[in-house]
Amino acid sequence: MNNYSPLRTAIAGVSGYAGGELVRLLLRHPRLTDTPPILLGRPQDTDALPISLTSLHPQLTGLPNADNLELSSFNWKQLQRDAVDILFLATPHEQSREWVPLALAHGIRVIDLSGAWRLHNPHHRAVYQLHDADPFRASQLQAEAVYGSPEIHAPAIAKARLIANPGCYATSIILALAPLLRANLLNLECGIVCDAKSGVSGAGKTPSPTTHFMHAADNLSAYAIFGHRHTGELLEQLNLTTDQIQFTPHLLPIPRGILSTMYMRLNQPQTAAAIQSVFDEFFADAPLVRVRRSPQLPQIQYVVRTNFCDLGFQLSTDGRRLVVISVIDNLLKGAASQAVQNMNLMAGWHQAEGLL
Amino acid sequence: MNNYSPLRTAIAGVSGYAGGELVRLLLRHPRLTDTPPILLGRPQDTDALPISLTSLHPQLTGLPNADNLELSSFNWKQLQRDAVDILFLATPHEQSREWVPLALAHGIRVIDLSGAWRLHNPHHRAVYQLHDADPFRASQLQAEAVYGSPEIHAPAIAKARLIANPGCYATSIILALAPLLRANLLNLECGIVCDAKSGVSGAGKTPSPTTHFMHAADNLSAYAIFGHRHTGELLEQLNLTTDQIQFTPHLLPIPRGILSTMYMRLNQPQTAAAIQSVFDEFFADAPLVRVRRSPQLPQIQYVVRTNFCDLGFQLSTDGRRLVVISVIDNLLKGAASQAVQNMNLMAGWHQAEGLL
Amino acid sequence: MNNYSPLRTAIAGVSGYAGGELVRLLLRHPRLTDTPPILLGRPQDTDALPISLTSLHPQLTGLPNADNLELSSFNWKQLQRDAVDILFLATPHEQSREWVPLALAHGIRVIDLSGAWRLHNPHHRAVYQLHDADPFRASQLQAEAVYGSPEIHAPAIAKARLIANPGCYATSIILALAPLLRANLLNLECGIVCDAKSGVSGAGKTPSPTTHFMHAADNLSAYAIFGHRHTGELLEQLNLTTDQIQFTPHLLPIPRGILSTMYMRLNQPQTAAAIQSVFDEFFADAPLVRVRRSPQLPQIQYVVRTNFCDLGFQLSTDGRRLVVISVIDNLLKGAASQAVQNMNLMAGWHQAEGLL
Amino acid sequence: MNNYSPLRTAIAGVSGYAGGELVRLLLRHPRLTDTPPILLGRPQDTDALPISLTSLHPQLTGLPNADNLELSSFNWKQLQRDAVDILFLATPHEQSREWVPLALAHGIRVIDLSGAWRLHNPHHRAVYQLHDADPFRASQLQAEAVYGSPEIHAPAIAKARLIANPGCYATSIILALAPLLRANLLNLECGIVCDAKSGVSGAGKTPSPTTHFMHAADNLSAYAIFGHRHTGELLEQLNLTTDQIQFTPHLLPIPRGILSTMYMRLNQPQTAAAIQSVFDEFFADAPLVRVRRSPQLPQIQYVVRTNFCDLGFQLSTDGRRLVVISVIDNLLKGAASQAVQNMNLMAGWHQAEGLL
């Protein structure tokens, strides 16, 4: 037994891709070796519970603590008695919207990986078609929710009861643009183009025509032009108008990884060294963002199955046009490892604990 | 307009992979340029009919005759009045088992791409769990059905009313083994091992956990060991016992193509030249089987999107052990183009018409 | 024997991907069934010649005329005596630059698939580092060379002696932008962003770290930002300045296909119907360009192994921002089938002969 | 600083796939956090040295200890002065054969990942075409070399000076067959068929026509039938004759992973429970082998990027025929993590230290 102060975690949604990665990360987290996460079964699966973790994720068999873990039925009182500190929700957004008030009412802090609590502007949130049992309470919680981007909101995250873990596309774009916008370098009249490409795990585990191998393999397709639901996160977090940012996602024929190519014009000519400094300073204390030396550019392979976001850029010879490349593993820095990073901050630990 | 005698075809099951390939082949068939196939809609889709062909298969847009083709509701009397000669069924086996008696009763010959009519031994057929409205009539038709392997049963195919188009795995294996068995070269006491690998299209178009990109990509898995339903075809067509052939399929992370690796022992030592002759002679008049010169071996890429089966082999230095490699495109020689080959024979045309 | 006027063709560069597709297309071209192409071996391979076509492209085995074709050594006098009308060069650009003057001097028209003769502005052409034996003659021929985009330059192509077949990326972008620029709809002050993605065959057949499976698979990478050599084609053919178009290519983990996503702003608000009309009218007589109905968008799978370019678009709700998607098979409409289309025009045939 | 006894390691061949995985494993090994490995540069690269580790493997950037590591030129005296205990050679077999005598002469134990020292029978070893400067010394060392299969030779490994780390294919097959052969269950008269399939990383990092994306993707091919150089390992380690085992490798279109399907006949009928016991008992103390419960079968995805070998089997209903499936990550349990497992045994640590 180690002599760390114990933290008790629980996870709902372990059967999905992000939930599976999350349990893997928690199992090997050095602060949690004595307190493996409690795994919450889905209410609709109650008759089948308990379900062993390794039957859902056979590749975890034989890892420390994994073989005995089970998804079980649960109730909020019991979680309270078990002294659960932090509940991770890797559940559909409707489910998250329903459970967050209940968890908080029982004194359990929540890191929600869905889109349910990310958007403060009701107009943006409308794409999720959320229905709240207690709209007044929900709006209070919404106001309290902290957008879980540790490189931007670390102090608020540390104190938060409710973390809205960012969307995967949004993570890759916000980390690339926030430094440049804060430095006020961009000419926004022409808008920023964000051409993003994601692997198939981003589409979730439910079989569908889109995720069928025959559709996804040897193919590339754009979708949700002018209408992807991560757009609201970009507008709110970057403080931009619809006219100032154009985000188009594409479905890549790979399992994991996002690469976002971003095009922008600068207010006035810059040198590559100046741009490099802006990124370096912004991420000086960010252990999970790696800024590459221009003209080197990151690729998806650099980050797949890692917890990093890699950034790189190139500048036109006249110093007026900038292309930035951002890559993440959509299931890790775009979901599960960013959630663990938030947990670390909430627990007062180093933000990269268990992630390097 | 050409001066060929017209042949009228109809297809049910156009929305699937094999059905889609079939309509593409018929549209470009030189004997059918004036008589595009009639496309039969699914009874359960009646309210949505007609459905344009190109909405199901956008890649066919702009090809001759394709833009105006539609799937329509149908009835047997109407097909009879339309003088349909040959009906292709690319439908689930239950549907094929139900429709074949009706089609034949209306004077329409059938080429069935499902497994419904391939197996004469009721014990083998049990895996399909077929239920016949008129069991006596069904058993008569079963006795009449011809296994549509043109390299083996061409004369019977030419006269048949009902063709059971072979399974994809079975095609790749039967074409490789039939010459060797007919020449009585094999020592069957040790059995023949058939290790077969197929692309994902073989699992059909319905989304499922197995066909999800995340399961199929970057993976390989064996399945249905000792129990794949194509086994019955091997036993009946090759006249072998369960103990004499071991067939194991695997799911490959590619869209199309089957490669079967077959291992066998010879009754007595042979030379590569002797084995080569056996294959060459067997397929001397088979324009869609290409026998490679040993020690050259075919690969899946040689045949994907072609109508060929490629065969190759290597012999141990002592001349006693033989490895044969067989490759096909599972949707073409393993389904649609073999069906067209059967149609050609039934119409009295050259078997490779429209397939080279 | 058919009663078409015979056309005699020759191809250099058959061993590469585009050359292989080209010979396949010519072998099945209905006007050329009696005159298969002459295949020119590489001078550096003379000792190994003749080489059979099917040893280079085993998948062509058994196709009409293919089995007897060989790559042979050649000289210009002989090609002249053989009455070769059109020579296709699927050779490296240095080779094309050297051979074109020789071919034309012997009365042989040339369709060059390399980048050697595409660029009229010497500054743009500098990226190819070309060295001409007779610079004066070369500049005369350069002035005479016609950019082989049949949807744009058909009349000039019909009469040309020297066709510079367009680059693959350039084809996908020029076909999308030419109609909008001709209609004067675009606000060029903010520039056009062209985010393009290509399969690995675009990188050629020579093994390299970039084309290694381990680098290309499960990956995506941007390259040649601000510097890809197809940029000059865009500037010259679309009459744009460097500041008005930003082209970034990416390497996709698929064998074939290009998808280009293009972002632009409009001079004044437009309706989708108006944009649709612009495309429809521009391509009314273009059998190899398929304009999809907005908001439908093409995908790479729609065009892989077809001779088509597919275009689609979506407009922002305020009618001011436009996203256009263009897809081609880089080896076909981006190379070999566009070359055949040019040949058809040069021979006075329908431009899509043998391509539908 | 931890209080473990320090172990000093060095690695040659870090630029390759297995070497890259090896350095990653050593960097995160809990016993080696204070003693990162010394990385030996290639003699032919001397002018370019030092080379930073992260320039070769950008995905390692930011990991503990990785950023400052460099490949440097070296000499044996210096390694001796640096008190290197164990040298890993992830070098070509010619290089390994040359360096092993030098390393041992300087008191440095060696774990060689190449095939140079695996084979004791000179006839088997001939496939490697090895030339020894001092043949007598080489034969002494060959006799001393221990085949590094920890599940089989743990006691000898612990004391060895020279470990020949097993081949990847051989690992997957030997672990599956050793328990059955030891239990004397197999009828060897009919031979064992081992149909193995490997991802492309097994072919190494040097670009070649075989590893070109266009050849490997969407393809499957058999190679080296009756002649793969891992065959000798099977014969020697399993004590079989050429006639008793047939091993055929195939190239899979995936980056990593091996699946071997093995077919065998039993001396007398067995139950699945009996077979299960044989495997369970054999691997009772083997933390890196996971025996699945029949009829469950492992897939490649279960083990990719893990250090495990997974085994599963199914038995025919008559209990006479057995199919065994074995999967590993060819770069990990098939190379780098097996090397670390051997290092752990040589250092007297738990064999799975740093591997779970």
Judge: D323–B225 Cβ closer than 8 Å, yes or no.
yes
User: D232 and D135: one domain?
Assistant: no
Rounded to the nearest integer, the mean pLDDT of chain B is 96
Tokens representing D170? 């051989």
Q: Using a CB-CB distance cutoff of 8 angstroms, which residues of chain B are in contact with residue D316?
A: 226
Q: Collapse the DSSP code of B59 into the 3-class scheme (helix H, G, I; strand E, B; otherwise coil) and give the result.
A: helix
User: C264 and C305: one domain?
Assistant: yes
What residue in D sits closest to B312 (Cα-Cα)?
Answer: D222
Judge: B356–C62 Cβ closer than 8 Å, yes or no.
yes
CA distance D127 to D140: 20
pLDDT attached to residue D64: 87
User: D17 and D138: one domain?
Assistant: yes
Of how many residues is chain D composed? 356
User: D107 and D176: one domain?
Assistant: no
User: D138 and D176: one domain?
Assistant: no
Measured in whole angstroms, the distance separating CA B279 from the mean position of its chain's CA atoms is: 21
What is the pLDDT confidence band of residue B91, given thresholds at 50, 70 and 90?
very high
**Strand duo A9-12 + A86-89: pairing:** parallel
**pLDDT at residue B1 is higher than 80:** no
Tokens representing A88? 């991770």
Instruction: Please report, for the domain that includes residue D249, its CATH number.
Output: 3.30.360.10
What is the pLDDT confidence band of residue C5, given thresholds at 50, 70 and 90?
low
User: B121 and B258: one domain?
Assistant: no
Query: Considering only CA atoms, which of A46, A93, A94, A92 is closest in space to residue A73?
Result: A46
CA distance D119 to D227: 15
User: A178 and A274: one domain?
Assistant: yes
The secondary structure of chain C, three-state, reads CCCCCCCCEEEECCCCHHHHHHHHHHHCCHHHCCCCCEEECCHHHHHHCCEEHHHHCHHHCCCCCCCCCEEECCCHHHHHHCCCCEEEECCCHHHHHHHHHHHHHCCCEEEECCCCCCCCCHHHHHHHCCCCCCHHHHHHHHHHCEECCHHHHHHHHHHCCEEECCCHHHHHHHHHHHHHHHCCCECHHHCEEEEEEECHHHHCCCCCCCCEHHHHCCCCEECCCCCCCCHHHHHHHHCCCHHHEEEEEEECCCCCCEEEEEEEEECCCCCHHHHHHHHHHHCCCCCCEEECCCCCCCCHHHHCCCCCEEEEEEECCCCCEEEEEEEECCCHHHHHHHHHHHHHHHHCCCCCCCCC
Per the domain annotation, does D102 fall within a domain? yes
Interface test with D, best of C205, C214, C330, C331 (most D CBs within 10 A): C214
Tokens representing C181? 């620029």
Which residues of D form the catalytic set?
Answer: 168
What is the pLDDT confidence band of residue D336, given thresholds at 50, 70 and 90?
very high
Tokens representing A153? 């909101």
Judge: A253–B213 Cβ closer than 8 Å, yes or no.
yes
pLDDT digits (tens, 9 = 90+) for B132-145: 999 999 999 999 99
Q: Using a CB-CB distance cutoff of 8 angstroms, which residues of chain B are in contact with residue A211?
A: 207, 212-214
**pLDDT at residue C64 is higher than 90:** no
Burial of D284 (0-12, 13-18, 19+ CB in 10 A): exposed
Q: Collapse the DSSP code of D86 into the 3-class scheme (helix H, G, I; strand E, B; otherwise coil) and give the result.
A: strand
Per the domain annotation, does D221 fall within a domain? yes
What is the pLDDT confidence band of residue B2, given thresholds at 50, 70 and 90?
very low
Among A59, A308, A356, the residue with its CB nearest the CB of D306 is A59
pLDDT attached to residue A206: 96
Query: Considering only CA atoms, which of C40, C41, C33 is closest in space to residue C7?
Result: C33
pLDDT attached to residue D6: 84
pLDDT digits (tens, 9 = 90+) for A136-168: 999 999 999 999 999 999 999 999 999 999 999
Rounded to the nearest integer, the mean pLDDT of chain C is 96
Per the domain annotation, does B350 fall within a domain? no
User: D190 and D315: one domain?
Assistant: yes
Judge: A213–B208 Cβ closer than 8 Å, yes or no.
no
Containing structural domain, residue C66: 9-144
Q: Which residues contact C92 (CB under 8 A, 6 or more apart)?
A: C114
What is the pLDDT confidence band of residue C284, given thresholds at 50, 70 and 90?
very high
Average pLDDT over residues D195-220: 97
Which amino acid makes up residue A227?
G
pLDDT attached to residue C1: 38
Q: Which residues contact B344 (CB under 8 A, 6 or more apart)?
A: B350, B351, B352, B353, B354, B355
Judge: B252–D257 Cβ closer than 8 Å, yes or no.
no
Per the domain annotation, does C338 fall within a domain? no
Q: Collapse the DSSP code of A179 into the 3-class scheme (helix H, G, I; strand E, B; otherwise coil) and give the result.
A: helix
pLDDT attached to residue A5: 60
φ/ψ of D263, rounded to 5, equals: -115, 130
What residue in C sits closest to A221 (Cα-Cα)?
Answer: C299
User: B172 and B316: one domain?
Assistant: yes
Rounded to the nearest integer, the mean pLDDT of chain D is 96
What is the pLDDT confidence band of residue C2, given thresholds at 50, 70 and 90?
very low
The ipTM (two decimal places) reads: 0.95
**pLDDT at residue D52 is higher than 80:** yes
Q: Using a CB-CB distance cutoff of 8 angstroms, which residues of chain D are in contact with residue A290?
A: 61-62
Element (H, E) at A235: helix A231-238
User: C182 and C115: one domain?
Assistant: no
CA distance B197 to B214: 18
Instruction: Please report, for the domain that includes residue B129, its CATH number.
Output: 3.40.50.720
Which segments of chain A have a pLDDT < 70?
1-5
**Strand duo B309-315 + B289-291: pairing:** parallel
pLDDT attached to residue A1: 38
Percent of chain C with pLDDT over 70: 99
Q: In terms of pLDDT, which residue wins out, D160 or C44?
A: D160
* D302 to chain A, closest Cα gap in Å: 4
Percent of chain C with pLDDT over 90: 95
Per the domain annotation, does B336 fall within a domain? no
What residue in C sits closest to A256 (Cα-Cα)?
Answer: C218
User: A258 and A291: one domain?
Assistant: yes
Average pLDDT over residues D266-279: 98
Per the domain annotation, does C347 fall within a domain? no
Per the domain annotation, does D353 fall within a domain? no
Rounded to the nearest 10 degrees, the angle between the axes of helix B272-282 and helix B168-182 is 120
Of how many residues is chain B composed? 356
pLDDT attached to residue A6: 84
Among D290, D301, D304, the residue with its CB nearest the CB of A61 is D290
Average pLDDT over residues D21-28: 97
pLDDT attached to residue A2: 43
**pLDDT at residue B4 is higher than 60:** no
User: B301 and B202: one domain?
Assistant: yes
> pTM value?
0.97
Query: Considering only CA atoms, which of D319, D153, D176, D143 is closest in space to residue D245?
Result: D176
pLDDT attached to residue D5: 60
* A89 to chain B, closest Cα gap in Å: 22
Judge: B303–C218 Cβ closer than 8 Å, yes or no.
no
Per the domain annotation, does A207 fall within a domain? yes
The number of distinct structural domains making up chain C is 2
